[in-house]
Amino acid sequence: MFSWNDMRVLRNYFEDANEDFQEDVFLMIVNNDGTVYALKINDSQTLNVAIEYDLSNAKGSTTQEKIDFLNENLRKDYAQNSNLELTFLKFFESYGATLYEAADQNLSNWNLLELNNNKDQVVSTTCK
């Protein structure tokens, strides 16, 4: 599943992209079980504020030390819950990004993954 640094990299790709193509920026990963996920920004300002807040408040004296600290915190959360999707969505709930899961091996169909109202389950909605 995505790391904290993956979220930062997505933000950086978005900022570096030509303004005409920013809405097309996304990041994909393939988990060790073959599941393919995509991460897309839906609110760049919210994402930027969240990333900068995390970096400002993380332990460490260098950017890399702070990134390592933030990645380790998320890794610990993943280790405590076998539902990586739920853990990811809870951790990054207010970061302005959207998580998708490929619905087939051809990557031609996707499902939007979101938290339910109680924030204790993942709801999968087919994208059209």
What tens digit of pLDDT does each residue of 17-69 get? 999 999 999 999 999 889 999 999 999 999 999 999 999 999 999 999 999 99
CA angle 56, 12, 17 (to 5 degrees): 150
pLDDT at site 128:
76
State the pLDDT confidence band at 104, using cuts at 50, 70 and 90: very high
Write down the residue that tokens 């207010």 correspond to: 94
Q: Check: CB of residue 40 under 8 Å from CB of residue 26.
A: yes
Q: For residue 113, list its beta bridge partners.
A: 99, 124
- Determine which helix (DSSP H) or strand (DSSP E) holds 29, and give its type and residue range: strand 26-30
Where are the alpha helices (H) located in 42-125, listed in sequence order?
44-57, 63-80, 84-91
